[in-house]
């Protein structure tokens, strides 16, 4: 198993951060890591996601949304081919720190037979989390209250 995580404190309330984060149609304008997310952000739906790890090639996959709690968390589960080969449980958490500050944490827990062999490639996603989180903060902080 391998877990990756990156957190950032954003000078914006959780509702504004959530609004920017869930406006997936605007991702090509600002998100350097997750360049495409298509589909409904509702539990049970399948998404079409494209990520571009820093210095890497685009990678597309079709995760299933497992949890949606507005202004708190979104989770999905992606798989390589079949369950147990490489499973990625991705989580986005929003934690209000004060009325105008939110901690945004993006993490992923990889499990499955091929994780030990793909550890280096999977680790490259962590830098992408940092890039995306920084860009999300800049966009949320620049939006009017």
Taking 90 as the threshold, does the pLDDT of residue 44 lie above it? yes
Q: What is the pLDDT of residues 14-41, one digit of tens each?
A: 999 999 999 999 999 999 999 999 999 9
Taking 80 as the threshold, does the pLDDT of residue 57 lie above it? yes
Burial of 145 (0-12, 13-18, 19+ CB in 10 A): exposed
Query: What pLDDT, on the 0 to 100 scale, is given for residue 6?
Result: 97
CATH 3.90.79.10 fits 2-142, yes or no: no
| Paired sense of beta strands 73-79 and 87-98, if any | antiparallel
Query: What pLDDT, on the 0 to 100 scale, is given for residue 120?
Result: 81
For residue 26, the Cα-to-chain-centroid distance in whole angstroms is 15
The pair of structure tokens assigned to 107 is 């993490």
Spans of all domains in the chain: 2-142
Residue with tokens 């869930």: 22
3-state secondary structure labels for all residues of 16-34: HHHHHHHCHHHHHHHCCCE
Q: Is 59 helix (H, G, I), strand (E, B) or coil?
A: strand
Query: What pLDDT, on the 0 to 100 scale, is given for residue 96?
Result: 96
Q: What is the pLDDT of residues 89-137, one digit of tens each?
A: 999 999 999 989 999 999 999 999 988 888 888 888 899 999 999 999 9
């Amino acid at each position: 198993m391998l877990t990756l995580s990156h957190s950032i404190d954003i000078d914006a309330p959780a509702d504004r951060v959530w609004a920017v984060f869930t406006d997936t149609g605007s991702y090509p304008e600002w998100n350097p890591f997750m360049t495409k997310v298509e589909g409904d952000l509702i539990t049970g739906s399948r998404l079409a996601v494209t990520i571009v790890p820093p210095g890497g090639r685009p990678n597309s996959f079709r995760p299933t949304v497992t949890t949606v709690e507005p202004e708190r968390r979104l989770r999905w589960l992606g798989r390589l081919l079949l369950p147990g080969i490489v499973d990625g449980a991705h989580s986005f958490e929003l934690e209000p720190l004060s009325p105008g500050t939110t901690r945004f944490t993006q993490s992923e827990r990889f499990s499955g037979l091929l994780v030990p062999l793909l550890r280096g490639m999977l680790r490259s996603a962590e830098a992408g989390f940092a890039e995306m989180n920084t860009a999300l903060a800049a966009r949320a902080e620049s939006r009017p209250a």
